[in-house]
Structure 1
Amino acid sequence: MSPFPGLLPDEPVDTVAHLIQTALTPIFMLSGIGTLLNLFNTRLARVSDHIEKANETLEQTKTPSERRHLHRHLGHLHRRTLLLDAAILLGAVGGASACGAAFVLFLGSLRDSSVASWLVVMFGVALCCTVGALAMFLCDSLLAWHGLRMTTSWARSIKPKI
């Protein structure tokens, strides 16, 4: 009996090396997804801080035009939080699927069973969710750039009070 179930004693080193390379692919993907999740959470925290500041400014503002602008700005920030929430959710599901793919590879090597269909499903879900998370992040970036342009043009339109 082989000391490592699923691997025959006379199995070539290339086969074992290929198994290790294949098992590491989802782990590298998981590392990248973790970095993306950190980025998304940091960005969400900054948007949240911006919402708090805008709410404080809204409470102190008396001018109707400034209040309308702040309400539009808060709506814009709310849409950004929804996109970032979706990006985080998709990233988390993608990370869980990448872990599942690594686990399926591990089980397949231990049991010497055919787990190809599970592996394709888990890795496919991880890839789709990661692409979806990146798409949500792109939408948030576009909203942020649009909001920056709107804020800049609005600030230019206000005449300083002397």
Structure 2
Amino acid sequence: MIPLPQVAQVAQTIQLALAPVFLLAGIGAFLNVCAGRLARVIDRARNVERLVLETRGAEHDRLVDEIRKLDRRMTVVNTAIFLTVASGAAVCLVVILLFLSELVNAHLGTAIALLFITAMLLQAAAFVTFIIEIRLASRTIHIRNEVLFHEATEEDLRP
């Protein structure tokens, strides 16, 4: 029969698990940011998709280029989301192993440490991927010269 842990041991394990649980809250907030960016990219892609089918010439080519960039951004954000979810799952496993090691009196310290390192590496990779997406976005968000230097003519001003 497995000896049951004392209340003090459980309380100590909860204290140990508290830091990874706060980490999960941060991971959740980062997922929220990534999901928001993905939603905005998808919305823009849907609008551009519709416009691509309605345009011709230089405007069509510009929109096709934009939709390719949007597609690339979607892929990068999805990768960041995947890495973040994998990191969150690894943190959950850390918490589970902390309790399991206390419950069955097993020495899982090495496994817990390696899993936590894995979680941090996954999250670091997610942050790097997110930076890549931000860079992609900042390179594609420019106001065209014909809009920046547009001057209204007399005909444009008439009602």
TM-score computed with the length of structure 1 as normaliser: 0.83
Which contiguous aligned blocks of 4+ residues in structure 1 show a shift greater than 2 angstroms? Answer: 15-21, 151-162
Residue correspondence of structure 1 range 123-162 to structure 2 within 5 A: 123-149=116-142, 151-153=143-145, 155-156=147-148
The aligned counterpart of 1:43 is: 37
Percent identity over the alignment is 29
Which blocks of at least 5 consecutive residues in structure 2 are unaligned?
none
- C-alpha distance in structure 2 between counterparts of 1:124 and 1:158, whole Å: 54
Report how many aligned residue pairs link the two structures.
152
| CA shift for structure 1 position 4 | 4.6
**Aligned-pair RMSD on alpha carbons?**
2.3
Q: In structure 2, give the amino acid aligned to 1:46.
A: R
| CA shift for structure 1 position 57 | 1.1
**Match among 45, 54, 70 for residue 63 of structure 2:** 70
- C-alpha distance in structure 2 between counterparts of 1:131 and 1:154, whole Å: 40
Change (3 A) 1:112 1:38: same
**Match among 18, 24, 45 for residue 24 of structure 1:** 18
| CA shift for structure 1 position 60 | 1.5
Change (3 A) 1:131 1:160: farther
Which blocks of at least 5 consecutive residues in structure 1 are unaligned?
none
8 Å Cα contact 2:76/2:130 also seen in 1: yes
The aligned counterpart of 1:55 is: 49
TM-score computed with the length of structure 2 as normaliser: 0.84
